[in-house]
């Protein structure tokens, strides 16, 4: 807009223009090689708009920079992974998520329009149909025209692992799906890094979906838009006392204490180790281990999605192993429908 090339270089490479800061540095640090954003998909959709609009502006004016090809196309991967990390149109509610946010958010509407313009991927048209909203940009106009002229394809929802960390070596969020069809069973296994201040103390927690519903719930995602008892969707006082703590999640609690004693700085130093991720026709498995959440206890968890004909619908097998040198109290919560709204 200003025609000032010096500002462009500073925006991309930092005030010193040496790459130690700026847009490209953020792309290096905040997204994993799979396009996973460190704070989880709720904040990924929030961060998506400035990233993709900025990159699209550069693409229009200086396409030779090829920002959408940077880091093996990490920005396009971020758009696709935001879609993949959803079920029945809603994002998986991990960390400080608002539970009724989904793929129809305006940030992802921009992302889908831009991704369509860059790729022409017909599976994005089915997502645009589900969004039922077109952004008022030339990218949006092109997408609207394509929806009239091109046959949409189903988006390829499948089982996959999204590595965490800038180098992809700080755990992962794994999704096991029984199939791509609506109403399929899905297991979400959270073996990610802490996720900065929005992260919860919920290493190796899981959520289960079936028939379009969240069946085994994540209680830690306690925010709801326009619900008075939940502070209208704002950050809850409950976050520190309940929602962010380990006991509010489907994972192992030792001696009644949260992972890392509820200390963010300590939690930021550690992440789970991915032990397995395999997808087969009859069995899918994801597994990880956590060594530093407690001083004397290490634990691991393996989640199996069993799709054999003996089951009317896919079944989940959950195996947890914990070891320590002393005597400890183990609690393994498993939450179902309902929400805590008031306590004395």
> What whole-number distance in Å separates Cα of residue 273 and Cα of residue 291?
8
User: Taking a C-beta distance cutoff of 8 angstroms, is the pair 112, 131 a contact?
Assistant: yes
Q: What is the largest CA-CA distance in the chain?
A: 68
> What whole-number distance in Å separates Cα of residue 302 and Cα of residue 314?
16
Catalytic residue, from 42, 43, 209, 219: name it: 43
Q: Which residues face 302 on adjacent strands?
A: 287, 319
In the chain, beta strands by DSSP E: 86-87, 90-91, 160-163, 171-177, 186-192, 205-210, 213-216, 253-254, 273-279, 283-290, 297-306, 315-324, 330-331
Catalytic residue, from 84, 110, 184, 198: name it: 198
Name which of 185, 186, 184, 195 is nearest 220 in CA terms. Answer: 195
Compute φ and ψ for 263, nearest 5 degrees.
Answer: -100, 115
Q: Which residues of 178-191 are buried (b: 16+ CB within 10 A; e: fewer)?
A: beeeeebbbbbbbb
Q: Annotated catalytic, 219?
A: no
> What whole-number distance in Å separates Cα of residue 104 and Cα of residue 166?
27
Q: Annotated catalytic, 80?
A: no
Q: Which residues are catalytic?
A: 43, 198
């Amino acid at each position: 807009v200003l025609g000032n090339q010096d500002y462009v270089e500073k925006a991309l490479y930092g005030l010193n223009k040496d790459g130690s800061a700026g847009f490209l540095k953020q792309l290096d640090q905040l997204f994993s090689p799979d396009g996973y954003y460190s704070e989880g998909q709720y904040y990924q959709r929030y961060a998506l708009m400035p990233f993709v609009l900025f990159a699209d502006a550069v693409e229009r004016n200086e396409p030779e920079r090829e920002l959408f090809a940077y880091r093996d196309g990490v920005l396009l991967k971020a758009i696709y992974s935001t879609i993949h990390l959803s079920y029945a149109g809603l994002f998986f509610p991990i960390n400080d998520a608002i539970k009724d946010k989904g793929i129809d958010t305006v940030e992802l509407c921009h992302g889908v329009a831009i991704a369509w313009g860059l790729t022409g991927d017909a599976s994005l048209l089915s997502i645009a149909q589900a969004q039922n909203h077109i952004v008022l940009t030339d990218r949006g106009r092109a997408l609207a025209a394509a929806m009239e002229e091109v046959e949409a394809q189903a988006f390829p929802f499948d089982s996959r692992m999204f590595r965490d960390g800038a180098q992809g070596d700080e755990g992962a969020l794994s999704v096991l799906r029984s199939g791509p069809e609506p109403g399929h069973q899905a297991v979400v296994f959270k073996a990610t890094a802490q996720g900065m201040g929005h992260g919860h103390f919920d290493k190796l927690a899981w959520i289960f979906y079936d028939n379009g519903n969240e069946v085994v719930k994540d209680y830690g995602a306690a925010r709801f838009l326009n619900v008075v008892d939940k502070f209208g969707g704002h950050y809850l006082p409950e976050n520190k006392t309940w929602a962010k703590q380990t006991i509010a999640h489907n994972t192992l609690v030792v001696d009644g204490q949260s992972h890392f004693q509820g200390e963010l700085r300590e939690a930021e130093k550690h992440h789970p180790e991915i032990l397995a991720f395999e997808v087969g026709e009859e069995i899918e498995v994801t597994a990880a281990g956590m060594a530093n959440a407690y001083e004397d206890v290490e634990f691991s968890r393996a989640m199996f999605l069993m799709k054999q004909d003996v089951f009317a619908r896919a079944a989940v097998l959950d195996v947890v192993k914990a070891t320590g040198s002393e005597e400890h109290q183990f609690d393994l919560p498993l939450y179902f429908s309902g929400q805590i709204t008031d306590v004395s």
